[in-house]
Structure 1
Amino acid sequence: MKKNLGKFMLWIAGWKLLSNFSIEDLKKSVIICAPHTSNWDFYYCLACFWSIGIPYKIMIKDNYTKPWYGFIFKSLGCIGVNRKQRNNLVEYTASLIKKSDSMALINTPEGTRSWAKEWKKGFYYIAKSAEVPVVLAYADYKNKIAGVKKIINIEGKTVEEVFKEIEDFYKPEMAKYPKNYNPKIY
């Protein structure tokens, strides 16, 4: 049902889906969603992931998953995290991926929809600890295309090498609001 709903969501908006990978390639990974300059990014990425059938999870503040309406966020693949507690979120998340048969963690390393000086590096350390690849997903507003374009195997690569590969892929003109995307991510 989600596959058809995702395809319908893209069709109704006049968007196309492009992905060169099978579910097996994506089922255990850390997925980067960028450029992240609008709340609409969530809509297009969700439609894309539903269409492909990616078993994704999203870390969000636990005050969204605890109230009576928390079931809605949980049904969308959200995992609540208490950000006030001191805990090692990288190791916790990596252990969730390792224990799961299939878990693609969605991450927006810009951390904001506004211009960010640099990306947060937690996704790299989660992928490294979980021994999974980093996958580049995108919503290209200029061409009305959403998809999964590249898999980066990070084994033996430094954070700088991985960030350079990512930086070469994402371009400001893909963003809904290009002025809010900093192409220099580190």
Structure 2
Amino acid sequence: MQTTIFNTPIITPFLRLIAKLLLKLHGWNIVADEQAMKLKKYVLIAAPHTSNWDGYIFILAALKLGINPHWMGKDKLFPFPLGGVVRWFGGIPVDRSKANNLVDATINQYNAHEELVIGIPPEGTRGKSERWKTGFYHIARGAAIPVACGFVDFPNKVAGIGPVMEMSDNLEEDLKQLGAFYANKKGKHQSDYTPPI
């Protein structure tokens, strides 16, 4: 994969120090499941996603944890000349206007790389919607990789990576388990949170 803010020689170690300092100044605690930290490939759920501040905390947490996540964003976020900067922050452009199969394309990316973490906000938007989008589930199943529960909890100022889950052939049951984990995780704008089911 491309060079990002999370793996640039010389620069990234310096940014990790800044991230740790900023997190301390903001009063945030970053935690990580030991199993997730040992994995080289997984889908990283990013929830709750109710504010642009989620991305800021996500970047600081990833720097502190020493992981190299990527994320998918609207292709409108990647115009020249800022597109290179957005990619450096781990962005992968997605053209939502085309009827391309994003799930299959993402599975192919996982199959082509020995190490890959893609953060996916299953709510799909910062606003309230009916339920989670299930692309993350189909990607994990298709690529035969687990899902790790990335989270932010604004009231308690805790973020990180929670438990790792293997997706079963029962989508509704998996969503219930994910819902139980995220039930006490509060976004910045909790009224905009969309639960899994």
When normalised by structure 2's length, the TM-score is: 0.86
Are the aligned partners of 1:117 and 1:182 in contact in 2 as well (CA < 8 Å)? yes
Distance in 1 (CA, whole Å) between partners of 2:54 and 2:104 is 27
Match of 1:157 among 164, 169, 173: 169
Q: What residue identity is the alignment partner of 2:137?
A: Y
Distance in 2 (CA, whole Å) between partners of 1:17 and 1:178 is 20
1:170 aligns with 2:182: yes
Cα distance per residue 1:127-157 (max 9 Å; x no partner): 1111111110111111111111110011x43
Distance 1:78 1:182, change over 3 A: closer
1:100 aligns with 2:127: no
Gaps (5+ residues) in structure 2? 1-12
Counterpart in the other structure of 1:126: 139
Match of 2:128 among 115, 120, 123: 115
Distance in 2 (CA, whole Å) between partners of 1:171 and 1:79 is 29
Distance in 2 (CA, whole Å) between partners of 1:77 and 1:162 is 28
Match of 1:14 among 20, 27, 36: 27
Match of 1:54 among 67, 73, 78: 67
Match of 2:156 among 143, 147, 152: 143
Counterpart in the other structure of 1:75: 88
Question: 1:46 Cα deviation (Å)?
Answer: 1.3
Counterpart in the other structure of 2:101: 88
Distance 1:12 1:109, change over 3 A: same
Larger deviation, residues 41-50 vs 60-69: 60-69
Pairwise CA RMSD = 1.7
Are the aligned partners of 1:135 and 1:152 in contact in 2 as well (CA < 8 Å)? yes
The percent of aligned pairs where both chains have the same amino acid is 33
1:4 aligns with 2:17: yes
Distance in 2 (CA, whole Å) between partners of 1:68 and 1:135 is 33
Question: 1:53 Cα deviation (Å)?
Answer: 1.6
